[in-house]
Amino acid sequence: MNPKNAIDELISYQKTFLEEYEIKVNTNFKNLPELILADELRVKEMVFHILNNAIKFNKEKKGHIDIHVERFEEKTKLGGNLVEIQIFNTGKGMSEQQIKESFELFGNVKVKDDPFVIKSSGIGLGISTSSSLAQKMNGSLKIESEIGKGTTVTMKFESFEVDKSIMELYMRQKEQEMQVKKPKKQKTVNFSNNVDLEMAAETQNKNIKKIVNQIDAKNN
């Protein structure tokens, strides 16, 4: 998977809401290769829940969301590398009790005397699901928050280096795609070597969009 593309894709899913609520998203990527070996579907679902929550608690404040993604060099017991995705939002913030409740499978984050409470259902489901997904990828999920100042959710998952031959194939495909964007080069591009890759990618994208729509429907 390409970590940067995955995050950008999830942000694009929420573009309508981000523009409607005037929420700015800032991204920062550090020490990330073009490709890593990781469970892309699980990573995207995990991040989607947290990003969706960040938007929900930011919608009345017109604040911002900061997303930082970094891969650590230190090796895990299995020989992989931990990737950290940290999402901070300038929303309502949560108390220690609310954080505890948010990890319950069907818990809801409740803010006293707040009309937004009714619309916040499903927050606990999203966090508990994301936490479970992180653990399945030998990672973790942690929440730090302060009422009135915002919330930071830190997710970690294990990744592995991509085989050199696969990386070379990926880079060749990327070069071909760049050539397609140049009108004069279109007739000379040969996709015979990566038809299977393109079909697989197209099928994966369709599955991802289907899953994301199902998740969004549950949260709403």
Measured CA angle at 2 (ends 200, 85), to 5 deg: 130
Rounded to two decimals, the pTM is 0.70
Residue 180 lies in a domain: no
Q: Which of 144, 55, 142, 129 is nearest to 94 (CA)?
A: 144
Span 39-64, average pLDDT: 90
Rounded mean pLDDT of the chain?
79
Distances (CA, A) of 133 to 14, 43, 82, 94, 162: 21, 8, 14, 22, 22
Residue 154 lies in a domain: yes
Q: Domain span at residue 68?
A: 3-162
Predicted confidence (pLDDT) per residue in 57-90, tens digit: 887 768 999 999 999 999 998 999 999 999 999 9
Percent of the chain predicted with pLDDT > 90: 46
Does the pLDDT at position 105 exceed 90? Answer: no
Residue 132 lies in a domain: yes
**Domain of residue 99, CATH code:** 3.30.565.10
Does the pLDDT at position 188 exceed 50? Answer: no
Residue 59 lies in a domain: yes
Q: How many domains does the chain have?
A: 1
- pLDDT at residue 119 in the model: 41
Query: Lowest-pLDDT range, 1-15, 39-53, 75-89, 168-182?
Result: 168-182
* The dihedral sign for the CA sequence 52, 57, 63, 64: negative
Distances (CA, A) of 188 to 69, 107, 179, 182, 192: 37, 57, 9, 11, 12
Residue 41 lies in a domain: yes
| Residues ≥6 apart with Cβ < 8 Å to 102 | 94, 109, 123, 124, 127, 128, 143
Instruction: Tell me the one-letter amino acid at 146.
Output: E
Residue 97 lies in a domain: yes
Residue 188 lies in a domain: no
DSSP annotation of 116: G
Residue 146 lies in a domain: yes
